[in-house]
Amino acid sequence: MDGFAAVDFGFAREVLQRGIAALYLVAFVSTLNQFRALLGEHGLLPAPELLAWAGSSPRARRLLRPTLFLRVRYTDRRLLALCIAGVVVSAALVAGIPQLAPPWVPMVSFLLLWLGYMSISSIGQTFYGFGWEMLLLEAGFLAAFLGSGSQPPPTVVIMLFWWLVIRLEFGAGMIKIRGGREWRDLTALMYHHETQPMPGPFSRQAHLLPPWFHRLEAVGNHIAQLGAPWLLLAPILGLWIPGAVPALIGAVGAGIVIATQLWLIVTGNFAWLNWATVVIAFSAIGIPLGMPHRAETALPWVIDGLSLPWFVVTSVVGVLYVWLSVPAVRNLFSRSQAMNASFNRWQLANAYGAFGTVTKERIEIVVEGTLLPDADPDPLAGEWREYGFKGKPGDLHRIPRQFAPYHLRLDWLMWFLPLGRMYEDWFAMLLVRLLEADAPTLRLLRHDPFGGARPAQVRAVAYRYRFTTRAQRRESGQVWIRDRRRVVVRPLSLGDDDGSM
CA 465 remoteness from chain centre: 25
DSSP strands (E only) in 319-393: 362-370, 385-386, 388-389
pLDDT tens-digit profile, the chain (501 residues)? 678 888 899 999 999 999 999 999 999 999 999 999 999 999 999 999 999 999 999 999 999 999 999 999 999 999 999 999 999 999 999 999 999 999 999 999 999 999 999 999 999 999 999 999 999 999 999 999 999 988 999 999 999 999 999 999 999 999 999 999 999 999 999 999 999 999 999 999 999 999 999 999 999 999 999 999 999 999 999 888 888 899 999 999 999 999 999 999 999 999 999 999 999 999 999 886 555 556 676 777 888 889 999 999 999 999 999 999 999 999 999 989 999 999 999 999 999 998 899 999 999 999 999 999 887 766 566 689 999 999 999 999 999 999 999 999 999 999 999 998 788 999 999 999 999 999 999 999 999 999 999 999 999 999 999 999 999 999 999 999 999 899 999 999 997 654 444
CA-wise closest residue to 214 among 178, 236, 186: 186
pLDDT at 366: 97
Question: What is the rounded end-to-end Cα distance, in angstroms, of the chain?
Answer: 62
pLDDT at 7: 87
Asked if 377 contacts 487 with a C-beta cutoff of 8 angstroms, the reply is yes
The vertex-135 CA angle with 132 and 137, nearest 5°, equals 115
pLDDT at 438: 97
Strand partners of residue 460: 367, 489
Residue 227 CB partners (closer than 8 Å, separation 6+): none
pLDDT at 305: 85
Asked if 257 contacts 277 with a C-beta cutoff of 8 angstroms, the reply is yes
Long-range contacts of 325-330 (CB under 8 A, 24+ apart): 325/163, 325/349, 328/167
Residue 77 CB partners (closer than 8 Å, separation 6+): none
Asked if 375 contacts 483 with a C-beta cutoff of 8 angstroms, the reply is no
Residue 78 CB partners (closer than 8 Å, separation 6+): 69, 72
Asked if 191 contacts 182 with a C-beta cutoff of 8 angstroms, the reply is yes
Tell me the Cα Rg of the chain.
Answer: 25
For residue 240, count CB atoms less than 10 angstroms from its CB and return exposed for 0-12, middle for 13-18, buried for 19 or more. Answer: exposed
Distance, in Å, from the CA atom of 201 to the CA atom of 199, rounded to the nearest integer, reads: 7
For the whole model, what pTM was predicted?
A: 0.95
pLDDT at 499: 42
pLDDT at 381: 62
Q: How many residues does the chain have?
A: 501
